[in-house]
Chains A and B, each alone.
Chain A
């Protein structure tokens, strides 16, 4: 039993079961060899063959996207790319457990989730390509712009969830953050607000063991990040973040609880950042290869593949179709990221306010005059 804290139904407001609360072993349904633990009932929706195959396919495509994006940085087509290689169980499992009407609050490391939600891969990379700060329509995809200042999106999720509840909608808001983000004050305030208002929010911490170079041990003295849920009087779960079946299950449960008025949930998914923080980072300065080697066999995709093969679900045709879809996505990314993006200097001033201030109009006219003059000079060959 690894649900760490369940709000007390007796009304004392104090979570039950301190013995289980303090057990930090993560919930796991699929072990690293791809064997089911047997805890989940055979008729659990996460184990339906169609769903398993759809999950696996999304992971294949998501990983291909990640690998391609990393390659495009080396080719100078992206300014930077923070890889989530090895974290696909979190990135994809959490998304597949949400409804399209639910809201998602990603960080800069969550492009794979955004692509899983259906956002155009090129639009998902707009921020990291550098042509604008956000490339997709957040309202259409119920996906907030990727957040860079750590955990500052968490209070937005609390507020949006509270608003949805006030409006009588069954919308849930899920915010991602990392283990480093849990040290931020905004993380604490978000969880506290969400709990006080019993907002339908899910705070999903991808504990990938590193905040750039700083390991978890220097981030917290707590045995588990999920224990923080106890302090807020909310449900808390620690889950194997490389087990996509477990991730889907706990997010699905948290969402169902939130929709039913049961308030927010803190999920800590234990995973590992296989790549450096970004291409600009040198991980060899702060961690040993042996550590990375330890995590390689715990790969979330390989694990699911082993299980699917054992079940006989992974036919040649299924594999060929997924590979084809992944390669098509990679081809498309190569082509479209290879083109120079259209940027318009007038965008600098257009959206600062609903109506530009007189000062901005003046500055926009000034820049335009400067550019026009430069163009005339160029034409005249000066």
Chain B
């Protein structure tokens, strides 16, 4: 699905790899580059993780560098913090979005605050990998979009790749960052394939995935591909849509987003998480505050409903779809056309 996403910066080689493999390669290259990088979590060792993202790391780097932990997310997070205090750069895996909640106290009370608490004396270069989002037919607790909890916690960077190349370059950058980074991996894109480019924009910058003139679709992670599909479908209805892939929610790239919206005059924000109090509410507010005089219509949101994530047989109704996004686009006060 992401094969159409990353035309720019594509490497000369033509071998396609999956997004999961790109994450694996980033971990591998980071571990090779810096012996202080360690990878741990539940089942990440011999098994290679339930999504095989850490496949072969224990074999190739040894159990001191990639290891299984007891089944306890707060313990994983707390251990990572302690190791970071001693100079390591832990990359931990939360097996599924909803399994990260026990770690939330460690994340909110310590990971996000330690640098500030100590006036910079104890930075915590920790990456928390969180496979998130729905669309894989997962039963309860396996499909949450939990980014909002982290986004609402100052002190964390929260990023999410939507392409194979971003999965690699952003994870490398996250591991090199001296700040904690919540690295949200859209699990339904794990098997999407593309040719890997190992260079890309820095964390904190959004990317224009499709140029357009009529309205801006603002998406991140799993909904970027849905937005691109929508833009293709919209051509038949006469709309030329621009698609912004945020890449990084914190820091937020107001500049790129606002430049796009000022150009098109209309915006739709898309995410899988519930709309009420969601990240889209913040984005819509920011865009409205900064682009009010350029807007032809209110900023619309297309999000998951304000419900607990539904069972697999009903999730298609919940997830933002091409049709729902098209409906939102059609509602953007086009009377002048």
A228 to chain B, nearest CB (A): 15
Q: A144 CA to B106 CA in the complex, in Å?
A: 15
- B contact residues around A186 at 8 Å (CB): 74-75, 78, 105-106
A173:B82 contact, CB within 8 angstroms: yes
B266 at the binding interface (Cβ < 8 Å): no
Contact string against A for B residues 109-134, beta-carbon threshold 8 Å, 1 for contact and 0 otherwise: 11001111111111100000000000
A137 at the binding interface (Cβ < 8 Å): yes
A149:B109 contact, CB within 8 angstroms: yes
Given A193-B70, A357-B204, CB of A156 within 8 Å of CB of B179: no
B250:A189 contact, CB within 8 angstroms: no
A193:B157 contact, CB within 8 angstroms: no
B83:A145 contact, CB within 8 angstroms: no
Contact string against A for B residues 225-251, beta-carbon threshold 8 Å, 1 for contact and 0 otherwise: 000000000000000000000000011
Q: A158 CA to B77 CA in the complex, in Å?
A: 11
- A contact residues around B201 at 8 Å (CB): none
Contact string against B for A residues 146-177, beta-carbon threshold 8 Å, 1 for contact and 0 otherwise: 00010010111111111110110001010000
Given A159-B80, A162-B82, CB of A193 within 8 Å of CB of B121: no
Given A138-B121, A189-B75, A347-B119, CB of A159 within 8 Å of CB of B83: yes
Interface residues of B in 176-228 (CB under 8 A from A): 177-179, 204
A162:B83 contact, CB within 8 angstroms: yes
- A contact residues around B46 at 8 Å (CB): none
Q: A183 CA to B250 CA in the complex, in Å?
A: 35
| Chain B residue nearest to A195 in the complex (CB) | B70
- By the criterion of a CB under 8 Å from any partner CB, how many residues of chain B are at the interface? 47
CB-contact partner of A158 in B82, B113, B157, under 8 A:
B82
Q: A290 CA to B15 CA in the complex, in Å?
A: 79
Contact string against A for B residues 150-161, beta-carbon threshold 8 Å, 1 for contact and 0 otherwise: 000011010000
| Chain A residue nearest to B178 in the complex (CB) | A354
- B contact residues around A137 at 8 Å (CB): 118, 121
B240 to chain A, nearest CB (A): 29
A325 to chain B, nearest CB (A): 29
- B contact residues around A359 at 8 Å (CB): 251-252, 254
A185 at the binding interface (Cβ < 8 Å): yes
Interface residues of A in 128-153 (CB under 8 A from B): 132-134, 137-139, 144-145, 149, 152
Which residue, of B75, B106, B178, has the highest number of chain A Cβ atoms within 10 A?
Answer: B75
Given A138-B122, A145-B118, A359-B251, CB of A196 within 8 Å of CB of B82: no
B276 at the binding interface (Cβ < 8 Å): no
Q: A351 CA to B83 CA in the complex, in Å?
A: 20
A179 to chain B, nearest CB (A): 20
CB-contact partner of A192 in B75, B119, B157, B178, under 8 A:
B75
B337 to chain A, nearest CB (A): 35
B117:A354 contact, CB within 8 angstroms: no
B316 to chain A, nearest CB (A): 36
- B contact residues around A351 at 8 Å (CB): 115-116, 118-120
- B contact residues around A353 at 8 Å (CB): 115, 155, 157, 179
A76 to chain B, nearest CB (A): 24
| Chain A residue nearest to B117 in the complex (CB) | A133
Contact string against A for B residues 52-96, beta-carbon threshold 8 Å, 1 for contact and 0 otherwise: 000000000000100001101011011111111111100000000
A336 at the binding interface (Cβ < 8 Å): no
A139:B122 contact, CB within 8 angstroms: yes
B72:A156 contact, CB within 8 angstroms: no
A139:B121 contact, CB within 8 angstroms: yes
- B contact residues around A89 at 8 Å (CB): none
Q: A139 CA to B155 CA in the complex, in Å?
A: 20
- A contact residues around B204 at 8 Å (CB): 357
Q: A166 CA to B157 CA in the complex, in Å?
A: 28
B284 to chain A, nearest CB (A): 16
CB-contact partner of A163 in B70, B82, B177, under 8 A:
B82
- By the criterion of a CB under 8 Å from any partner CB, how many residues of chain A are at the interface? 42
| Chain A residue nearest to B90 in the complex (CB) | A159
B83 to chain A, nearest CB (A): 4
- B contact residues around A196 at 8 Å (CB): 69-70
Q: A186 CA to B103 CA in the complex, in Å?
A: 10
A296 at the binding interface (Cβ < 8 Å): no
Which residue, of B78, B81, B179, B255, has the highest number of chain A Cβ atoms within 10 A?
Answer: B78
B102 at the binding interface (Cβ < 8 Å): yes
A165 to chain B, nearest CB (A): 9
A108 to chain B, nearest CB (A): 13
- B contact residues around A155 at 8 Å (CB): 74-75, 77-79, 81-82, 106
Q: A350 CA to B115 CA in the complex, in Å?
A: 10
B74:A189 contact, CB within 8 angstroms: yes
- A contact residues around B74 at 8 Å (CB): 155, 185-186, 189
CB-contact partner of B85 in A160, A185, A190, A358, under 8 A:
A160
Given A134-B118, A351-B120, A354-B123, CB of A190 within 8 Å of CB of B83: no
Q: A160 CA to B116 CA in the complex, in Å?
A: 20
A376 at the binding interface (Cβ < 8 Å): no
Q: A261 CA to B253 CA in the complex, in Å?
A: 49
Contact string against B for A residues 326-359, beta-carbon threshold 8 Å, 1 for contact and 0 otherwise: 0000000000000000000001001111100111
- B contact residues around A193 at 8 Å (CB): 69-70, 72, 75, 78-79
B53 to chain A, nearest CB (A): 22
B86:A167 contact, CB within 8 angstroms: yes
Q: A139 CA to B86 CA in the complex, in Å?
A: 9
- A contact residues around B121 at 8 Å (CB): 134, 137-139
Q: A348 CA to B110 CA in the complex, in Å?
A: 17
B254:A159 contact, CB within 8 angstroms: no
A selection of 7 A-B contacts at a CB cut-off of 8 Å is A138-B118, A192-B70, A193-B72, A350-B119, A351-B116, A354-B179, A358-B252
8 smallest beta-carbon distances between A and B, as pairs: A155-B78, A159-B82, A189-B75, A159-B79, A163-B86, A160-B82, A357-B251, A156-B82
Q: A134-B119, A138-B85, A347-B119 are in contact. List 14 more A-B contacts (CB 8 A).
A: A103-B85, A144-B85, A145-B117, A155-B74, A156-B81, A159-B79, A160-B82, A171-B86, A173-B82, A185-B102, A192-B72, A193-B69, A193-B78, A354-B120
